[in-house]
Amino acid sequence: MAKLAFIGLGRMGYPMAGHLSRAGHTVVVFNRTATRAQHWVGEYAGKASSTIAEAVRGAEFVFSCVGDDPDIQAVATVAFDRMSPGAIFVDHTTGSAALAEKLSEEAVGRAVAFIDAPVSGGEAGAQKGQLTVMCGGDEAAYAKVEPVMRAYAKMVKRLGPAGAGQKTKMVNQICIAGLVQGLAEAVHFAEKAGLDPAEVIDVISKGAAQSWQMENRAATMHERKFDFGFAVEWMRKDLRIALAEARANGAQLPVTALVDQFYSEVERLGGKRWDTSSLIARLS
């Protein structure tokens, strides 16, 4: 078993750190809101630290799951200075590939390693330990930390050098954006056509139209329930990152750009914290 630090106990990080503790690792957690960390300690075996520097001291692996590029940079800046030589920093935040590449280079200069490892599966996946983890970084460092990440993942894979994990997460979000919009339009059409959406989805989900989104969000879309985890504001952050990367590499993402505009309309409806299936709200 290993000595670990986990930075960031949000909706994803909290259960992920919990799975690491239950797997038998020694876990020290840090969260900006200290009461959240204390609550975690009350639920799992581990220790809460009052600073990032204290949390990472002596850790073999440091995990982070925070908000956006500035948050990742801030955590890494402190952690790299305090981590032991040979330690590995794994960032589960969805951020830019450019920052992942930069931090990987900085890590090498500090005699540590950096793995960008964004996740997919949402809050439910984190709670069940069924996340998909997309990794980029040094192959030897990845090989060391991959078994540890299995505590909260059903799939862990290295896709290439630093930044490859973040780029793969962009592909994931591009796919989801189009799927959710298509499902929203389908449910809306069924309602307007006088069909029973539940019966329609039950039938078409057995054919070529089937998807995770259809199985898990069609019914709640029809019921206009939008409290299932991944918020619109976070999806827009992810799409912003993907669209910026597309501008840099020349990829054309017309549907993704359009869906991002639709999410901005949802935000204007007051849906900043609604989950991503709330695209249907703008059609109602």
The residues carrying an active-site annotation are: 169
Q: What's the CA gap between 125 and 97, in Å, rounded?
A: 24
Q: What are the φ and ψ backbone dihedral angles of 216, each rounded to 5 degrees?
A: -105, -20
b/e map 173-208, b = 16+ CB within 10 Å: bbebbebbbbbbebbbebbeeeeebeebbeeeeeee
Contact 133, 68 (CB under 8 A): no
Contact 187, 221 (CB under 8 A): yes
Angle (CA) 138 87 133, round 5°: 50
Sign for the pseudo-dihedral over CA of 44, 50, 54, 56 = positive
